[in-house]
Chain A
């Protein structure tokens, strides 16, 4: 009954045609583009990797084999656990967290300046300057970074010419190019949630703190940062999730000896053609990232609803 009146109210507010369209579009999106594919993935992840002929046969039963493989590796593995895959997974999570923090440190001053200091034309020019580089597609941007950080790239040749170093630094092997590329890729996703949060802070709050004797850095730690917490969480969540799930940047910028976990997943799907295991690994990544984000939100006492603000 309550549901029906809610539906009736929704249709009255938006009109029959628009209301129905919104309902259908959202339902389609939720059901066919999110829920069903993910359920299919879960189903995949719980199956054996069988040749086409045996699928649907007596051996096609549900199993945790793929998840077991992630933790323990092949049967008879001398280590007792899957050193390679778990190691890649751990490094990916840590690296993604590092990229997120790096991004926050870089973007917070920019967002603060844009939201509270810049006025009129200056703010508009800055916003455009932030957006325009994203017209360049991801692959091209990654290759540009590869060139910049390469052995004969701008950075190395400048440092060599200035005599600061004698031999070129291998930025690619040290993963510096990867961190820089990933960090750069998600600048906007960090700046705008931060900007949104800081922009709604009453300037008088800042001035009041200053008037009461607060030095500039205390104004940030005591007034601006706590106020911007939902924005920080929102930005960090997006950057972390996307960085952990990035594929193109690690492919192009990653060092030869360091794999990103998504590259393992990609490999399972398209090189080993073991879809069940690929699906299991993808779900492991999704669940782990979600749990980590929820844990961090709990630590910083941010509720899920606040992020939407």
Chain B
């Protein structure tokens, strides 16, 4: 295997007629890293992938792979291999012919191709299945054949365009682990495109969250989840309760925000430290799991009084739907520790949170999926 190399996007702009698909993207992906672009459909993540693989030329800016500018180098000449969303396996070829296609294009003889294909079949645990046709394989097996076919081209960078989206939930979770294992074993740079934040967080070393062609934040999974840079990231990645209001006071990186449920205390997101001012519009984000019914030690600024309007018991967790008198609705997730949660629908209760786990961010667009 060739080993991973770095990929750099330098002030990348990709435009289709009037429509700007990707605006001013600056990313550095380290060699051997598992990097994800995460965002809703139409956010420009596929455009980025196609630009890296060479199917699109940037309108301005540059793609550099291993430090080399890739301008006007075709997809068949780049050290990248792309795994398509629908896999695009060749239906008229056997599995081994699919896998060895890149070698065939290099003019390698049939015996060597077969040998190499068999090695890769062993890597993806499909030994002895080389003579089957693609339609005879299961969804997960096709997935692995697509990966082997791409690896056979000996790329330095593997590009994956939502390859798991067609699989059912169980298989998808299994393939996440498997992809990560393969990536560690072959040591290549993986660039992964997804709209599924669970996939991005579990597999990636770093994630870039995109919205409408703009990268809103780059960070590891924990940073993206716990310290979002924008209101969009906070609402798109994971579940979040968004409580809009106005900043009353700022002290030591903590803001007091007047919201419809009262004055709330919340830590200001790292990326917003310089931007959030007193009297500015802000949103306080509190994760469902950051809210608890145990209010010992909580102050008025970290407590919300509300009525229970819904309960879902899931097993390990219990989810509550609450409504404040002012109309705001909240979701609370409680870990099942064997106690009964509430006095039932219609009852009134107080939910409290740790102000360091609530995040204050300047007002901005929220995810449409909320």
A22 interface hit (Cβ, 8 Å): no
Residues on the A chain within 8 Å of B84, using CB: 204, 207-208
Among A134-142, A175-183, A212-220, the one that faces the other chain is A212-220
In the complex, are the beta carbons of A213 and B82 less than 8 A apart?
Answer: no
List residues of chain B with CB within 8 A of the CB of A218.
Answer: 105
For A210, what are the chain B residues with a Cβ–Cβ distance below 8 Å? 74-76
Residue A79 lies at the interface, judged by CB distance under 8 Å to chain B: no
- Please tell me if the beta carbons of A212 and B88 are within 8 angstroms of each other in the complex: no
Encoded as 1 (CB less than 8 Å from any B CB) or 0, chain A from 200 to 214 comes to: 001011011111111
Residue of A nearest to B104 (CB): A222
Are A202 and B88 in contact, with the CB atoms below 8 A? yes
Beyond A223-B90, A226-B92, is A211–B53 a contact (Cβ under 8 Å)?
yes
Given A207-B75, A207-B84, verify A212-B105 contact (CB < 8 Å). yes
Contact with B along A209-247 (1 / 0, CB 8 A): 111111100100011001100000000000000000000
Q: Considering the complex, give the chain B residue whose CB is closest to the CB of A215.
A: B76
Give A304 to B104 CA distance when docked, in angstroms.
31
CA distance A226 to B90 in the complex (A): 11
**Known contacts A211-B53, A214-B76, A215-B76, A205 near B153 by CB under 8 Å:** no
* Known contacts A211-B75, A213-B153; A227/B86 CB under 8 A: no
A210 to B54, CA, bound (A): 10
B313 proximal to A (CB < 8 A): no
Q: Are B88 and A214 in contact (CB under 8 A)?
A: no
Chain B window 56-83, contacts with chain A (Cβ cutoff 8 Å), 1 for yes, 0 for no: 0000000000000000001110001110
**Is the CB–CB distance between A211 and B81 below 8 Å?**
yes
B267 contacts across to A, CB distance below 8 A: none
In the bound complex, CA of A249 to CA of B106 (Å): 47
Q: How long is the Cα–Cα vector from A202 to B90 in the complex, in angstroms?
A: 10
Take A204-B84, A207-B75, A208-B82 as given contacts and tell me if A213 and B92 are in contact as well, using a CB distance cutoff of 8 Å: no
Judge whether B102 is part of the interface by a CB distance below 8 angstroms.
yes
Q: By the criterion CB–CB under 8 Å, are A207 and B88 in contact?
A: yes
Q: Which residues of B contact A (CB under 8 A)?
A: 53-55, 74-76, 80-82, 84-86, 88-90, 92, 101-102, 104-106, 149-150, 152-153
Name 9 interchain pairs, CB-CB below 8 A, sorted by A: A204-B84, A205-B90, A207-B82, A208-B84, A208-B89, A212-B102, A213-B76, A213-B102, A214-B105
Q: In the A-B complex, list the 9 residue pairs whose CB atoms are closest, starting with the nearest.
A: A204-B88, A208-B88, A213-B105, A212-B102, A204-B84, A213-B76, A211-B75, A211-B82, A214-B105
Residues of A within 8 A of B (CB): 202, 204-205, 207-215, 218, 222-223, 226-227
